[in-house]
A = this chain, B = another copy of it.
Amino acid sequence: MTKSRMEAFSDGVLAIIITIMVLELHVPEGHGWSELGALWPKVAAYVISFVYVGIYWNNHHHLMHTVRRVTGGILWANLHLLFWLSLFPFVSGWAGESHFAREPMTAYGVVALMAALAYTILVRTIIGAGEQNHLLADAIGTDAKGNFSLVAYVVAIMAPLLGAWGVWASGVALVAVALVWLIPDRRIERVLDATPHP
């Protein structure tokens, strides 16, 4: 009961985050192709942010599978994650609006990093509360993807501070994280598949 309601609330927040980002695509004044083309940075930022939030929804969904009971600590760790994810529309809009200037790229990297840390805190809170089932421990295993992401986020944050070229490094790092996680749940899914369930 508790668990399904936390899922429903998280689904609602994530659904709204992923959808209101499109509101940053303001309808252009004119109606030519050039006006549409001028929106490309916002469209690109929207696509990558859509994928990011989609990855989080996907992982959240799998993570919740492993939880038996929701404690107060888990509820707040979950709200903390949703807080950082709720800033994606802002940094995404800023990055697009500024045509991927240096400061917005660093800001995007910071929000992406904080969301990743919040996700890690959520996982640890679940384990700390002893409410995970054996699937979670089996499923996490070596965290090669997590370590790669951490390095990539640091690149995404720092590189733009070093020079104009850093914006490109930052963008590549952020896209690489998205690509690496695009099929993020294979590990948990494989364990789930191997486990008989009703």
Contacts of A65 in B (CB 8 A): 1-2
Contacts of A79 in B (CB 8 A): 50, 54, 57-58
Contact among B12, B18, B72, B89 with A185 in the assembled complex (CB-CB below 8 Å): B72
- How many residues of chain A have a CB within 8 Å of chain B? 60
Contacts of A14 in B (CB 8 A): 9, 12
Of A92-100, A116-124, A136-144, A148-156, the one with at least 4 CB within 8 A of chain B: A92-100
Nearest B residue (CB) for A61: B5
Decide: B13 and A13 in contact? CB cutoff 8 A: no
Decide: A9 and B57 in contact? CB cutoff 8 A: yes
- Knowing A18-B86, A87-B22 touch, does A28 contact B94 (C-beta < 8 A)? yes
Contacts of A177 in B (CB 8 A): none
- Knowing A7-B5, A12-B12, A103-B33 touch, does A86 contact B19 (C-beta < 8 A)? yes
Would you call A159 an interface residue if the criterion is a C-beta within 8 Å of the partner chain's C-beta atoms?
Answer: no
Contacts of A93 in B (CB 8 A): 27
Nearest B residue (CB) for A70: B61
Would you call A32 an interface residue if the criterion is a C-beta within 8 Å of the partner chain's C-beta atoms?
Answer: yes
Contacts of A7 in B (CB 8 A): 5, 8
Nearest B residue (CB) for A186: B72
